Structure 1
Amino acid sequence: MTDSAFESLADSLLAALEEAIADHADAELQGGVLTVEGDEGTWIVNKHAPTRQVWLSSPKSGARHYAFAADAGKWLDTRGGGDLLEVLSAEFGLPIRWSAP
Structure 2
Amino acid sequence: MPDTSDPQPKESEPHEQDVQPADITYEEFHSLADAYLEELLQRVEKMQEGNEGIDVEYSAGVMTIELADKGSYVINKQPPNKQIWLSSPISGPKRFDWVVVGESMNQKEGSGSGEWVYLRDGSRLSDLLRKEVGVEFGLGEEAWESEQRPTVTE
**Same fold at TM > 0.5:** yes
Aligned-partner residue type, residue 30 of structure 1: S
Q: Which residue of 1 aligns with 2:67?
A: 38
Aligned residues: 98
Give the Å deviation of 1:95. 1.4
What CA distance in whole angstroms lies between the structure 1 residues aligned with 2:29 and 2:114?
A: 13
Say which SS state the counterpart of residue 65 (structure 1) adopts: strand
Which of 77, 83, 98 aligns to 1:53? It is 83
Gaps of 5+ in 1: none
Following superposition, the deviation at residue 94 of structure 1 comes to 3.5
CA distances 1:37-77 after superposition (whole Å, capped 9, x unpaired): 11111100001001100000001110000000022411100
Match of 1:91 among 120, 125, 132: 132
Would you tell me which structure has more strand in proportion to its own residues? 1
The code of the aligned residue for 1:73 comes to G
| Structure with greater Cα Rg | 2
Q: Quote how far apart the aligned CAs of 1:93 are.
A: 2.3
Normalising by structure 1, we get a TM-score of 0.90
Select the structure that is richer in helix.
1
Unaligned 5+ segments in structure 2 are 1-23, 48-53, 102-112, 140-154
Q: What's the TM-score, normalizing by structure 2?
A: 0.60
